[in-house]
Amino acid sequence: MAPLLIARGCAVPDRVTVPGDAADPSKGNPKPVVLWSAAPPATDVILESVWGSDSRNVYAVGRNGTIVRLDGSRWSAVESGTSNNLYDVWGSGPDDVWAVGGLGAVVRFDGNRWNVGELRDAGNARRLLYAVWGSGSDDVWTAGNGGHAWRFDGADWSYFKLPTDEPIRGIWGSGPSDVFAVGDGGTILHFDGAAWSRMESGTTTRMNAVWGRSGSDVFAAGSSGEILRYDGTAWREDAQSRSVSPHHIRTMWGNRSHDVFAVAWGGTILHHDGTGWTRMNSGTGVHLEGIWGSPGTELHAVGYYGTVLHGTRGRASHAPPVQHPRHPAAPEAIWPISGTAASDADSIHAPYGPRALPSRYDFHAGIDIPAPTGTPVLSVMAGTVTQITRSTAASGPGNAVTVAHSGNRATSYLHLHEIHVEVGDRLEQGEVLGTVGRTGATYPHLHFGYFVDLPASTRDERYSRNPLELLPHGTPEAIHGAFAGNTVSLDVPLRRMTIRSVELVGAGDERLVDYYAVVARGATPRDQQGQFGVHLDASRPASGKFSLELTPSPTDFAPEQVIVTGIHGDTLLHARRQDGP
C-alpha cells in the first residue's frame, strides 16, 4: 500500500458562430453548431485539464499548482496547497475532485478544501503523474512517467507497475473492470479487473488522450493528429486520422451519445458526430489542452496563457461546410521564442563565437535571444527533458533546462524565470518548457544552446555547436575583411552569424581557428584570447555588427589572405591583402 499523505490572456472574438458539423439539408434534424466565447482569464499560466460535476462546479488545473473554478458565472483562482504542476483533473461529484501532477502530487477536494498528498512507488520515488480517472469515489486510477500507476479504493492507494516503461498520458474506462491507458510510443494498455495487459496499437506515435462511448467503441489520439479507434476486437487508424487536423491532439471528451470532442494545439477543436470528424473554428490559435462538457449543452476548453473558452450548443437549419487547407509537414526545428520555422524569426543579441563583454572577453557557446521576462520559451523540437538546474546566483546559467532530441542532439535553455517541466518529461515541438528571465544574467534573455553527441544528463559546452546549424535562417550576410600590418579585421553581422573557422595564410605559414575545436578545449581555455596561434579580439556590437580582429601570435608573419568558412562548409569570405596604389 502507498498511502495518500493528507496534510497572458490571448484575445479571441467575444462570440464566434461555428459550423461544428455541417447540417445535412436532406434530413429533418439539423446538426448542432457551437457558439464559442472567451471567458475573462483567472490566470496566465498554461491550463492543462478541465472537469466539472455541473455548470456551477467546473475546475481547471495547470502549471505551478494552479486551480481555477467556474461557479456558474465567473472563473476565479482557488488555493491548491501545492506549487507542483498539475496535469489532470477528474471527480466523481462536487465533493470529490482529484488533481494530479509533478513529484507524485495528488490533491483532493472534499467539498470544503483541497487536501495535499503525494504518492511514491515501490522504491519510494515520487513520479510525475499525467492522468487521473475513476469509475466512482472508491475506484480511482492515476498514472504517469515510467509506467507507474496507483489505484484508490476509497480508503487507500495501491501501487501497480504497468507492463510498459513509457509515460502514461491518458486513462479512461467504461467501468472498474474495463479501463484503458495510453502513452508514449503508441502504448495502449487494458485493465480487465484483475490485471493490466498490452494491446497492439499499430503505431509508435505518442498517444495523449483516450475516451469511449463504450468498451467496444473507444478513441485514442495523439501527436500530429493521429486518431485510433477500437471496435472491441482491434485498434485501427481512423479514416480521418492526421487529415482532419495535423496538430497534436491533447484531450478528448464525450457524452456517451454520438458526440465526441477533442482539442489540439493551434486552437483546434474537433467533433465526431457518430459518422465522422469535423474541425471546428474555435476563434483562437492558442494551443488548447483540455475539454469537458456538462450533461446539458455547455462545453469548456482550456489551454495556454490561461485561455478558457465557453461553448454553448444549439441547432441551426443549415451551416456551410468548412474548408480546410492542406497543412505542410512539421519543420525540423522552430525558433524558441516565436515558435515559427520562418527564417531568422527571433532576434539575436549575441551570436555563437568570440565576443566582448563589458569587462572581459569570452567565447560564447550559444546564442542570446532578448525577450521580456515571462515570455514563453518553447522546445524547438520534440524531445525528452534530461537535466534541470535551478539557481538564483548573480552569474552562471541560472534556471536552465536541457532537452535531448533524436540523432544524438540536444538543446539547452538558460536564464529562465520559471521552469514548467521536470526531468523525464517528453515534449512536443513547440511545447512550453519555461519562461524568459534573467537568472544568472544582467538582462532578460534566453541563452539557447545546441549540442551534438552530448553525454547523458549534462550540459557540457565542449559538445556545443552553432545553433544556426539547427534553426531556420536565411543566407548569411556579407563579411568584410581588412588588413592592417599583422592584423586582419573582420566586420561580422550579428544576424546569421554562421562562422565555423577562420584561416590566416601568409608566406610559408598559416593559422586556423576552428570554433568547434575552441569550445572542445573546455570552459576556461576557450575564453583565452590566444587560440591555435591567433590572438582574437572582439568589439562590442554596434548597428547590428561587431568587429573581430585576428592577429598571429606570436606575430612572426603578416597574413596575406583570410579565409572564413561557414558551418555548412560554405566560404563566407576569401580576401587577399591589396598592394597600395
In this structure, the answer to whether residues 513 and 383 fall within a common structural domain is no
Residue finishing a domain among 265, 299, 315: 315
pLDDT means per 10 residues, the chain with 581 residues, are 34 34 40 70 87 93 92 92 92 96 92 94 88 97 94 96 94 97 95 96 94 94 93 95 89 84 91 90 86 83 90 52 38 86 91 90 95 92 93 88 94 94 86 92 96 87 94 91 93 90 86 92 92 92 89 85 89 80 38
| Domain-embedded: residue 327 | no
Sign of CA dihedral 545, 546, 552, 557: positive
| Domain-embedded: residue 341 | no
Domain span at 373:
353-469
**Helices of type H across 471-552:** 515-519, 523-526
In this structure, the answer to whether residues 460 and 488 fall within a common structural domain is no
The CATH code of the domain that includes 412 is 2.70.70.10
In this structure, the answer to whether residues 492 and 451 fall within a common structural domain is no
| Domain-embedded: residue 546 | yes
In this structure, the answer to whether residues 488 and 430 fall within a common structural domain is no
Q: Which residue has the cell 483546434?
A: 268
Contacts of 402-405 spanning 24+ positions with Cβ under 8 A: 402/454, 402/457, 402/458, 402/459, 403/379, 403/427, 403/433, 404/454, 404/456, 405/381
In this structure, the answer to whether residues 485 and 445 fall within a common structural domain is no
In this structure, the answer to whether residues 465 and 486 fall within a common structural domain is no
In this structure, the answer to whether residues 287 and 375 fall within a common structural domain is no
| Domain-embedded: residue 49 | yes
| Domain-embedded: residue 22 | yes
Contacts of 142-146 spanning 24+ positions with Cβ under 8 A: 142/88, 142/98, 142/100, 142/106, 142/171, 143/168, 143/171, 143/181, 144/87, 144/100, 144/168, 145/424, 145/425, 146/424
Task: Cell numbers for 313, please give them.
Answer: 450548443
| Domain-embedded: residue 10 | no
Cβ-based neighbours of 25, under 8 Å, separated by 6 or more:
318
| Domain-embedded: residue 526 | yes
Pairing of strands 534-538, 530-531: antiparallel
In this structure, the answer to whether residues 108 and 63 fall within a common structural domain is yes
In this structure, the answer to whether residues 221 and 302 fall within a common structural domain is yes
What's the pLDDT score for residue 285?
81
What's the pLDDT score for residue 388?
94
The 3-class SS string of 425-437 reads: CEECCCCEEEEEE
What's the pLDDT score for residue 32?
53
The CATH code of the domain that includes 149 is 2.130.10.10
Cβ-based neighbours of 484, under 8 Å, separated by 6 or more:
none
CB 349 within 8 A of CB 356: no
Residue finishing a domain among 469, 492, 509: 469
What's the pLDDT score for residue 296?
63
Task: Cell numbers for 179, please give them.
Answer: 479501463
Task: Cell numbers for 400, please give them.
Answer: 536552465
What's the pLDDT score for residue 379?
94
| Domain-embedded: residue 11 | no
What's the pLDDT score for residue 319?
35
Task: Cell numbers for 45, please give them.
Answer: 499560466
CA–CA gap between residue 311 and residue 379 (Å, rounded): 30
What's the pLDDT score for residue 425?
86
In this structure, the answer to whether residues 515 and 567 fall within a common structural domain is yes
Q: Which residue has the cell 495510453?
A: 182
What's the pLDDT score for residue 1?
36
Q: CB burial class (10 A; 0-12, 13-18, 19+) of residue 295?
A: exposed
In this structure, the answer to whether residues 52 and 132 fall within a common structural domain is yes
Task: Report the domain count for the chain.
Answer: 3
In this structure, the answer to whether residues 365 and 504 fall within a common structural domain is no
Note the pTM of the prediction, 2 decimals: 0.70
The alpha carbons of the chain give a radius of gyration, in whole angstroms, of 27
Residues in the chain: 581
CA–CA gap between residue 302 and residue 282 (Å, rounded): 11
Strand, coil or helix: what is 532? coil
